[in-house]
Structure 1
């Protein structure tokens, strides 16, 4: 027989492929086939399937190789699962896992008596995904795992050439199937996904009952973004108290697509300084149906993100106490005194479980710690225009057992403003926010600070975010980086080993966006239909620095798009409006009326828009070719499909002039507002693209499992060896 036939049939039998057969019961241990897209090989395989010789060999294989039956009565996992996540809303699929530096072990619990599929991909579908299919045979209790992958251009799973998943154990009861298995983080197999520190789209599927060893169409499926290698655990060795900071019974009207709500809270009365050591979200959103709030199991909350700030109150504590007892304020209408609430304490965004701080740091809490009032800012994204009763907030965990260091949270990145513009039809468009050398030089201690963790935040079109560290004219390794950003999953990221950041160093937050599905420009703002580019940085020791941002200067921004002058407003007037977050108070009445009329949204109210409405209302006077058009209409009419145009705009706004802001905890300036050029530094060489010492073959895992798992792996290789020997001998 030809060698090609031997190889094809060897792989075919290695995967325990099915052959044409009558409607007799399935023999035990049969696995799905490994289809190939090579038509010649397929024809050869079909011919061989029909031969008596092949059937005889298959019969020999079935009779010689019987796997041991797993005894579920004696099953008890010896592993401690570091992580556990519910992959679906109904709790039908639960994934637990623990990893070492080189491998990862999973426990998959699924409500099915058929197969259960688990996958890993950078996209939310199975095309090109790394897949593993597992089941327990109904007749003999034997567990199986099959290493597969999704085809690039078809929603179909096929078995891998090399099997890199090791079965540990598996069993099923009347309702559920439970399987444990492991793999290397990087198997050096091109058909497998490399599990790293970036966000992974974890796919799941459930087969129909009785689908043991087959891959019929799944009956349920879904995806969940997760970071599989990030540690996050709740400390249980110290006495913890908690303080619930939450909005109570706020009705979100169906006419508000975006709503910011601010509520002042008084800190717990504590006899001495305490430390905040962690926080977690409290999401309680109830749709209003027929005038009554109802609990709906799969109802999506409009809570988009929440930030708790320290407030530097004045001497009139009576006023602050009244605010603390009141219901709160609509964001744009909040009292002016609340601008002193600028130091973030806890930052939560969609998909996050919260954060617990490392054991050596804590954030001071209470008047004895220097602050007695806090402000919770909640952003509601209600694009579906539902009426909702909300009582969401944040649970703060604190302790009297003080940590070694007082920590703080620093906000950095691109200032939230309509001047943060992202063009449509772009695959990889970058924007950048700078925390300047002057700012860190003026606000940080001589020995610098130690960065502990980072929460990277943007909205739906962001695909990458990185926090860069510049010292002098040299870029150091990235402090934090996400190359597969998913706005549905914004969990803070521990900085392994911490990072020493010295006085005079520069922070740069860089975001990369994919707007290929958009037809119009996206402006910066709080709405989920707008964009952000922020980093929330946990560090110690605590300093006076609260926020450190940059944005494109107003004149340079409009000049980039060829606009020199507007009717009724000088560029200085426009700049003042943007620096006051789009506040139009103080304009001539007629001009204010005209701008509000031009910028009015007929369908929905977006709330606090940070100058977006102004962009729709400004009417161009000079140059003549754009005269009498609003600036937003001008942006919409630009030739965004022309790469020379968009490339030049990106270069100008990215590496051109930046207006930098340096805010202290008392709402004062840590450094003067400056207009400066993008820092000049040597960029870091990306080591991730260097060649790995992989030869793209199976990586053998050292066996640490029970006997039946070892038997499973041995049988597969013995089967291949036996079949190959038979074919060569004949």
Structure 2
């Protein structure tokens, strides 16, 4: 009781002392926002103007370090990650995170404001925005937590300021600011930073735009994942092996090109371990027969995969291939089909990967692999001439790690039988790695999954790798709920995942084709689609690939087709099982085969049956007779939801043809046709299941205390007394 009396009396004196007689204005306070400042990154001047000005006024009098002489204070943090946000490296973002917070350093070539934003879309509407500047007159840094309006490209100040400034200053060319925030602020006006890919937005104001926030002069966005694990450098020296194409001319008549090049492994006297890889992007555009010297400008390299090849005792032919320039994908020698085990898989936007410290992929093993094949996919939709010398740098070491690791490919078999209808917001397809395959190829103790690279093309929005044991779904091994094909970085599986014999893998992709007018077929071209998972695991097994696709008869029946001219369903199925190559066809289709060879521009990657879809002529039923199957697909009423929902349900949860391929190009299990597995789906995949209730809360002060009910009651009492004193005054 005495303590309460003392606190109350102290509060009275304190309140009296703190009541200002004259309004004091700081020299570097935020300027009042007027109509002239209500542009793209300005405050709205109509309904929300009064509310915003109130927030700004409150912001002026805050006692946290939002404004100060920042040159006297530097964080001294070691930044875990660094990315350039623009092509010219004028905007650099560095960051480091803990389990609950994330700290940024933004370095921008600007003397105006600098803004950073986070959103699931590639624009500022509804985005979480933070705007910072350094006062030109006093050199003091300031920061403001904002958000983009839902239906207008404008920003307004948040009701609660959840970004905390650490430091900020300007030099002759750049503005540099450091700030931090909670990963989840429990504030609906802030973006929750999690494991998914997000669109990182940036904007630069004109010189002298300190707090006025006029329309930006430069802006952009980049997809990134901010919560990436740290790659620990090896404590032993690493050697590297550059596997790269040699000055290949990418012709301007082909929008899609697959190139395959055989390489001979380094001569190593003992087994080594591959511990990481990085892309080498080296493309030079050729304009009017004059090669532009700048490299990497809009490189057509879309993705690259390095495969192990089955050992051949007759190495003469393989040596010749390794010394050649390589082969156009569909015209490569048949023996290269034995190069099926992926070693490194890179896709656009990735920086590569370094493996966890306990695993390595064998290289130069006694009696092991001597030849590898690099497969490069070039996406040249702009039809430019390029000279390319791209490839992959393989890092390896003689210091062996605890476990031999390997990559496993899984998902939907790349084929024109993989159809995604147009005008769909969230259309799903799946590829199954069957329990028969895992039961016949995996050890008794199972395998340990380390990381996953999820891969699809431009219309994919979600990808997940599901894990089924018996009739129960376990937590997802890996998933991406905001997939962006321009940023395909492998994902570490936290703590790893134990996967046993008889378990099932399901790769599920969700596509948004609302902007498309015609169906999309599966294939290697960037205008087509894929649904794949590249899974890093240990211990190494003989399994190289585990896929599925819709059986041919069931596929065509789903679209109402029963019979074609010239080919029966068994022949059509054999074509698709041979990767879509048209060989030994009936005379009725010889003309098509000739046209296909004469006109290579019609090829899309390795084709995979895409060309056949355009040539198959329907015989039955009568209502579709004499139409090509592709024309039939294009004419279907895709705007009818009952139709598309039924097709999705049939192809998703119906029959699947499963494939189980071993490293020596043999079958690990017979090809089977089986129904979609019956299992109980998990209802919530979030392990933490955090619930914020989204209350408006402020960041904790730098000196955090844990209050009790008594202290909270005293605080309320003191505040009430202060208010009474102010009113009485």
TM-score normalised by the chain length of structure 1: 0.89
Say which SS state the counterpart of residue 368 (structure 1) adopts.
coil
Q: For residue 414 of structure 2, what is the aligned residue in structure 1? A: 416
Query: Residue 43 of structure 2 contacts residue 52 of structure 2 at CA under 8 Å; is this kept in 1?
Result: no
Shift of 1:80: 1.1
Unaligned runs of 5+ in 1: 1-12, 27-31, 706-719
Say which SS state the counterpart of residue 192 (structure 1) adopts.
coil
Matches within 5 A, 1:204-353: 204-233=202-231, 235-296=233-294, 299-353=297-351
Structure 1 residues 597 and 631, CA gap change in structure 2 (3 angstroms): farther
Q: For residue 155 of structure 2, what is the aligned residue in structure 1? A: 157
Unaligned runs of 5+ in 2: 1-25, 705-718
Matches within 5 A, 1:57-76: 69-70=68-69, 72=71, 74-76=72-74
Partner of residue 568 from structure 1, selected from 566, 580, 597: 566
Q: For residue 663 of structure 1, what is the aligned residue in structure 2? A: 661
Partner of residue 544 from structure 1, selected from 542, 545, 562: 542
Q: For residue 3 of structure 2, what is the aligned residue in structure 1? A: none
Structure 1 residues 703 and 598, CA gap change in structure 2 (3 angstroms): same
Query: Residue 34 of structure 1 contacts residue 160 of structure 1 at CA under 8 Å; is this kept in 2?
Result: no
Shift of 1:584: 1.1
Shift of 1:37: 6.0
Shift of 1:609: 1.4
Q: For residue 624 of structure 1, what is the aligned residue in structure 2? A: 622
In structure 2, what is the Cα distance between the partners aligned to 1:726 and 1:243?
77
Shift of 1:687: 4.8
Query: Residue 284 of structure 2 contacts residue 296 of structure 2 at CA under 8 Å; is this kept in 1?
Result: no
Residues paired across the two proteins, number: 685
Q: For residue 176 of structure 2, what is the aligned residue in structure 1? A: 178
Shift of 1:625: 0.5
In structure 1, what is the Cα distance between the partners aligned to 2:250 and 2:689?
51
Query: Residue 161 of structure 2 contacts residue 698 of structure 2 at CA under 8 Å; is this kept in 1?
Result: no
Shift of 1:594: 3.7
Query: Residue 248 of structure 1 contacts residue 390 of structure 1 at CA under 8 Å; is this kept in 2?
Result: yes
Alignment deviations for residues 68-103 of structure 1 (CA, whole Å, 9 cap, x no partner): 74252x554321111000011111110000001111
Shift of 1:728: 5.8
Q: For residue 702 of structure 2, what is the aligned residue in structure 1? A: 703
Structure 1 residues 657 and 249, CA gap change in structure 2 (3 angstroms): same
Say which SS state the counterpart of residue 553 (structure 2) adopts.
helix
Say which SS state the counterpart of residue 277 (structure 2) adopts.
strand
Is 1:614 aligned to residue 612 of structure 2?
A: yes
Q: For residue 145 of structure 1, what is the aligned residue in structure 2? A: 143
Q: For residue 17 of structure 2, what is the aligned residue in structure 1? A: none
Shift of 1:348: 0.2
Say which SS state the counterpart of residue 576 (structure 2) adopts.
helix
Say which SS state the counterpart of residue 468 (structure 1) adopts.
strand
Shift of 1:368: 2.6
Say which SS state the counterpart of residue 401 (structure 1) adopts.
coil
Shift of 1:499: 0.3
In structure 2, what is the Cα distance between the partners aligned to 1:433 and 1:63?
55
Shift of 1:334: 0.6
Matches within 5 A, 1:457-496: 457-496=455-494
Is 1:201 aligned to residue 196 of structure 2?
A: no
Query: Residue 69 of structure 1 contacts residue 140 of structure 1 at CA under 8 Å; is this kept in 2?
Result: no
Partner of residue 100 from structure 1, selected from 98, 106, 114: 98
Query: Residue 600 of structure 1 contacts residue 613 of structure 1 at CA under 8 Å; is this kept in 2?
Result: no
Structure 1 residues 600 and 618, CA gap change in structure 2 (3 angstroms): farther
Shift of 1:271: 1.1
Structure 1 residues 729 and 470, CA gap change in structure 2 (3 angstroms): farther
Structure 1 residues 601 and 512, CA gap change in structure 2 (3 angstroms): farther
Structure 1 residues 725 and 422, CA gap change in structure 2 (3 angstroms): farther
Matches within 5 A, 1:588-607: 588-594=586-592, 605-607=603-605
Q: For residue 115 of structure 2, what is the aligned residue in structure 1? A: 117
**Greater shift in the superposed pair: 603-612 or 272-281:** 603-612
Q: For residue 379 of structure 1, what is the aligned residue in structure 2? A: 377
Q: For residue 4 of structure 1, what is the aligned residue in structure 2? A: none
Structure 1 residues 418 and 141, CA gap change in structure 2 (3 angstroms): same
TM-score normalised by the chain length of structure 2: 0.89
Say which SS state the counterpart of residue 366 (structure 2) adopts.
helix
Query: Residue 421 of structure 1 contacts residue 524 of structure 1 at CA under 8 Å; is this kept in 2?
Result: yes
Say which SS state the counterpart of residue 167 (structure 1) adopts.
strand
Say which SS state the counterpart of residue 489 (structure 1) adopts.
coil
Query: Residue 413 of structure 1 contacts residue 435 of structure 1 at CA under 8 Å; is this kept in 2?
Result: yes
In structure 2, what is the Cα distance between the partners aligned to 1:647 and 1:366?
51
Query: Residue 255 of structure 1 contacts residue 604 of structure 1 at CA under 8 Å; is this kept in 2?
Result: no
In structure 2, what is the Cα distance between the partners aligned to 1:103 and 1:454?
25
Shift of 1:20: 7.5
Q: For residue 634 of structure 1, what is the aligned residue in structure 2? A: 632
The CA RMSD over aligned residues, in Å, is 3.1
Shift of 1:693: 3.4
